[in-house]
Structure 1
Amino acid sequence: MSDLRDAAMRSKAWPYEEARRVLKRYETAPPESGSVLFETGYGPSGLPHIGTFGEVLRTTMIRRAFEDISDIPTRLICFSDDMDGMRKVPGNVPNHDQLAAHLQKPLTAVPDPFGEYESFGHHNNAMLRRFLDTFGFDYEFYSATEFYKSGQFDAVLKRAVERYDDIMKVMLKSLRAERQQTYSIFLPIHPETGRVLYVPMKSVNAEDHTITFDDEDGREWTLPVTGGNVKLQWKPDFGARWAALGVDFEMYGKDHSTNTPIYDRICVILGQKAPEHFTYELFLDEKGQKISKSSGNGISIDEWLTYASTESLSYFMFLKPKTAKRLHFDVIPKMMDEYHQQLRAYPGQSLDQQLANPVYHIHGHNVPASDMVVSFSMLLNLASVASAEDKDTLWGFIGKYADATPETHPGLDAAAGYAVRYFNDFVKPTKQFRAPTEQERAAMADLVACLKDGDTALAAIARKNEAEGKDTPLPEVDWQSEDFLQSIVFAVGKNHGFEPLRDWFKALYEVLLGQSQGPRFGGFIALYGREESIALLEKGLAGALAA
């Protein structure tokens, strides 16, 4: 354990760097609460999306890193701001007219447009929890509605009344002149309509902890700030929540970064040390626009899991959190393959290297072995040439290529299912086959001849070696060897004058696969089968694929 702790304390992996900052808070004394509190926030104005999941996952990675460097117990709270008023009807939910009648009401007072839960807020909270539970996150769920109404927030709300002027000074500096005239940190919930009111205060009474205001019809009301009668504006709410819970760490997107001094100052005014922060870059859709819960652009949680494993999504989240990344369907194959590359590398790495490997931060101390004897990208190409409609078709080839079955290689079996779905939904509609040029036709005919006869293949390799002035011994004829098959393809391209040689491989992909990029072709032949590859080449030469 001491070796692990020493390595973790010097690791440059970003979860460890953040964990060390949190630990520094307790250099002189442990936390009075007995544990270090990590928090993530969720705004349930729309259905949960991958950005929300990313916050919880990344915070969990930092929490695990903290546990590697400290024996102080930890907690993780996922806090839902479900008492926020619904400002607009999300574009990706049914029954818009039904929801429109409830604008400005707390999300937990808005009917569920899906008809499954007691409110829209409860529905979105359930969707978030379902997904977090699927991943096995260790967290406590907090609802703002319950937090306000149960009295858990009362002490801090009373303190906010007593220190109202100090908090208002912080807020007014950040507001435009016209907004300053009507702003209050308190948002009353109208006793009759149930709507969240954005109205100025006529008085804030520190003696009985009440506020007095006129509603939109000019009627005067006086309400206690406790018991769920009032909520805080979102910026004061951040700092007040940290103070009420004693939060040690929270991360958020860079769109919050300019408000960090405000959140921190309000937390301090309310009597607590501000937490450590981590600001991550936002995710972008295929057009380079920020993904949004309400507009539904980008990829949903369920959509990613239709085409790839949960671990591949975790891997995507780990990479460069301070760099804006496109979050679109076309990143999925790369994430699947890179994740398994890291899994395969992990057992042979030093402890320092393992702690920098993303799979350690995904799995902790229980990093599994990869059973992907065929890459995801290769499965997609196999699905293409086999016109696969189900994963059983792929297994007909995989079983001949490797000593593997769906039972012995469940990860590969799941990947085969993902690959078929991904191919049919995203790759197949975009395929564009073409006929070969004269140069390409001659080379492909030569490749067919080489694949049919070992002596012809060796002659092609010898011709290539002679042209390059190499006195290299010829390889053994081994039709099962990816390297031997690749050497044939390479030699044929060289012998037919392709310069650069990548034009030869591009021609194979465009004629045979209908795309400009593809797999290591020797590996493809080994997986698809020599006879099947010959038949595919002959179809390409005959123009049948382009037709």
Structure 2
Amino acid sequence: MVEITHWADVMAEEILRSGKKHLVATGITPSGHIHIGNMREVVTADATYRALLDQGADAEIIYVADTYDPLRKVYPFLDESFAQHVGKPISEIPCPCGECYSYAEHFLKPFYKALDRLGIHPKIYRADEMYKQGMYVESIKTALLNRDKIARILQEHSGKEVTADWSPFNPICSKCGRLTTTKVTGFDIEAETIDYACSCGDCGTVSMTGGGKLTWRVDWPARWGVLGVTAEPFGKDHASKGGSYDTGKAISEEIYGYKAPYPIVYEWIMLGTKGAMSSSSGVVVAISDMLEVLPPEILRYLIIRTKPEKHIRFDPSLPLLNLVEEYEKLSANAEESGYNKRLKELSHAAGICHTDIPFKHMITIYQVAHGDLDKVMKIVERSGYSTKNEKCILELAENVGKWLEMYAPDMVKFSVKEEMPVQAATLTDIQRAFLQALAEEIEAASELTGEDYHNLVYSSQDKSSSLNARMGRIMEMSSDDLEVKPTEMFKAIYLAVLGQQSGPKAGWFLSSMEKDFLAKRFSEAASYRP
């Protein structure tokens, strides 16, 4: 049988053909909520970086926040007051909530926290600081002096002819603060200044150090050389024929004399049936929100398990539980080797908190405890799990609480009724006999595990079981005459405790509650006739 090599290791092998020293870059414009679609880029970069290290490379990972990009429009999540800031660099406009020092910082802060929780620790660069510190000055000079060559490259590769007044540099107007309304009218290489005219009526001169930025199709290849980037993931839009990677590669190699980095092209993450995630359209699930719902290793696994060139369909409601269960099965198998072992390695990261309690079981525990974290810990202990890693257990409980609040469908939600549910009045005679017999069995037993409860309920149909015999005595019938359907007995349990005909996995559910409560509730339900 041919052993499958994980895609990150394949990437690393190919990258290493060009030498041992590498810098993997990732970058996002923080113009809106940084979502799990964006997360594909950073996790892909991190997986490649780790694979390089594992193969003996001298590797580093960086993240570039494109904070000098302009605000393109008033996005759906902004109020109309931001109309006055359209066209200005997002590092230079106010924070939407008033608590951060800029618009860009407002969206970067939760993203940085998310990176930390995901176990990703890149060196961080901010584009506004890079420009203001003069890191791009030589690249700006080269671009201005080679304006016609760059225009030719753009036209040849993209098929779009640039206008006569096009420049590779966008000055920031000293009056209105915009960089989308200015035109370069001249420059002085020795003085490192650029002259401009703005549609607002202003004319002036700005420094090459922080007075504006290169246009995106020139900025990107310039950055490769400035930082020494050798590998970078990017979305399929940039990889299309005539796209920004095609033009960037030509500009990097023909204008800046720098070999373009190894391209790692990734597909979109689709949000349920809504399509590709996009901050500007509002079709997003923010990484920070998702990390309140899911343990970080499962979010990593979502990306790690799929080759970058394949799209991922992500639904945070009920289908999310399938993803969780898939990861838990993989994680629980200590004997995994080869590809599956590698999946686990790349999904884990230093500092990530982990507990062996299944997510689905915590959904039951959390709701039985009514969200009370002290009660959660007591139920965890009663269910037979170790409580030594309390911090991780409580993190999982909080994840579940948020999932129930934000994404869970009604069908998985329940509430243990403090008083007898009126629906218990609909119990049939055989269901009442079952509940009374079950109450007696519970009272007579010592501690019962989830599996014990599961087997006990199913034993109701076994004519040789003590539960079946108790039911026969209560109904004054022989075991041979009893017609027991376990599905109806499960319904009786849920009616007596929840006031509904269905509920969570019964074994986990019953083991999450105290024996005395169950015995009393089932006995009372057996005779409940309001």
Q: TM-score, normalised by structure 1?
A: 0.75
1:253 pairs, out of 225, 235, 242, with 235
Instruction: Please say if 1:451 is aligned against 2:438.
Output: yes
Decide which of 172, 181, 185 is 1:189's aligned counterpart: 172
Match of 1:215 in 2: 198
Verify: 1:16 aligned to 2:9, yes or no: yes
1:36 Cα shift?
0.8
Whether 1:390 aligns to 2:376 is no
Residue-by-residue CA offset, 1:385-431 (whole Å, 9 max, x unaligned): x36131222333333231633x4544223323433444455558665
Which residue identity does 2:336 align to in structure 1?
A: Q
**1:305 CA displacement:** 3.2
8 Å CA contact retained: 1:45, 1:90: no
Distance 1:531 1:353, change over 3 A: farther
Aligned partner letter, 2:61: L
Aligned to 2:225: 243
- Distance of 1:64 and 1:339 partners within structure 2: 20
Match of 2:299 in 1: 313
Q: Equivalents in 2 of 1:367, 1:117: separation in Å?
A: 27
Q: Which residue of 1 aligns with 2:265?
A: 279
- Alignment CA distance shift 1:18-1:516 (3 Å): farther
- Where do 1:259-270 residues align within 5 Å? 259=243, 260-269=245-254, 270=256
Tell me: CA distance 1:12–1:536, structure 2 relative to 1, closer, same or farther (3 Å): farther
Q: Partner residue of 2:55? A: 69
Match runs of 1:157-196 below 5 Å: 157-173=140-156, 180=163, 183-196=166-179
> In 2, Cα distance between the equivalents of 1:78 and 1:123?
17
Report the secondary structure of 1:84's partner residue: coil
Determine which of 44, 67, 73 is the counterpart of 2:30.
Answer: 44
How far is 1:171 from its partner?
1.8
| Counterparts in 2 of 1:243 and 1:279: CA distance versus 1, 3 Å | same
Report if aligned partners of 1:187, 1:230 keep a CA contact under 8 Å in 2: yes
Partners of 1:15 and 1:542 in 2: CA distance: 63
Q: For 1:83-482, list aligned pairs within 5 A.
A: 83-92=68-77, 96-173=79-156, 180=163, 183-198=166-181, 214-216=197-199, 226-258=208-240, 259=243, 260-269=245-254, 270-320=256-306, 321=308, 322-330=310-318, 333-345=321-333, 347-350=334-337, 352-353=338-339, 355-358=341-344, 360-363=345-348, 371-372=355-356, 374-384=357-367, 386=368, 388-402=370-384, 404-405=386-387, 407-423=388-404, 427=408, 431=413, 441=428, 444-445=431-432, 447-448=434-435, 451-452=438-439, 480=448, 482=450
Q: Deviations over 1:442-498 (max 9, x none)?
A: 67446435534669x9xxxxxxxxxxxxxxxxxxx9973544543444465799687
Structure with higher RCO (Cα < 8 A, 6+ apart): 2
Per-residue deviation, residues 31-56 of structure 1 (Å, max 9, x unmatched): xxxx3111011202124333334422
| Aligned partner of residue 307 in structure 1, secondary structure | coil
Aligned-residue offset at 1:141:
1.3
Question: Deviation of residue 68 (structure 1)?
Answer: 0.7
Q: Percent identity?
A: 23
The one-character-per-residue Cα deviations of 1:270-295 (angstroms, maximum 9, x if unpaired) are: 21111112222223335523323345
Structure 1 pair 229–422 and aligned structure 2 pair: CA distance change class (3 A): closer
SS in 2 for 1:109: coil
TM-superposed deviation, 1:14: 2.0
**How many angstroms apart in 2 are the aligned matches of 1:541 and 1:443?**
10
Shift of 1:78: 0.8
Task: Quote the Cα distance in structure 2 between the aligned partners of 1:505 and 1:274.
Answer: 63
> How big is the shift at 1:61?
1.8
Q: SS at the partner of 1:356?
A: helix
Give 1:323's aligned amino acid: H
Structure 1 residues 199-240: Cα deviation after superposition (integer angstroms, max 9, x where no partner):
66667888988766643267766767x323342222222222
Q: Which structure 2 segments of 5+ residues have no match?
A: 416-421, 463-481
Q: Give the aligned residue type for 1:480.
A: L
CA distance in 1, matches of 2:362, 2:108: 36
Q: Distance in 2 between matches of 1:25 and 1:112?
A: 43
Q: TM-score normalized by structure 2?
A: 0.77
Distance verdict in 2 for CA 1:63–1:513, change over 3 Å? farther
Contact 1:37 1:247 in 2 (8 A): yes
SS at match of 2:68: coil
Q: 1:543 to 1:64 in 2, by over 3 A?
A: farther
The residue number in structure 2 matching 1:55 is: 41
Q: Please give the alpha-carbon distance, in whole angstroms, between the structure 1 residues aligned to 2:353 and 2:500.
A: 32
The number of residue pairs the alignment matches comes to: 495
Which runs of 5 or more residues in structure 1 are unaligned?
1-9, 458-476
What is the CA-CA distance between 1:539 and the residue it aligns to? 8.3
What CA distance in whole angstroms lies between the structure 2 residues aligned with 1:15 and 1:199? 43
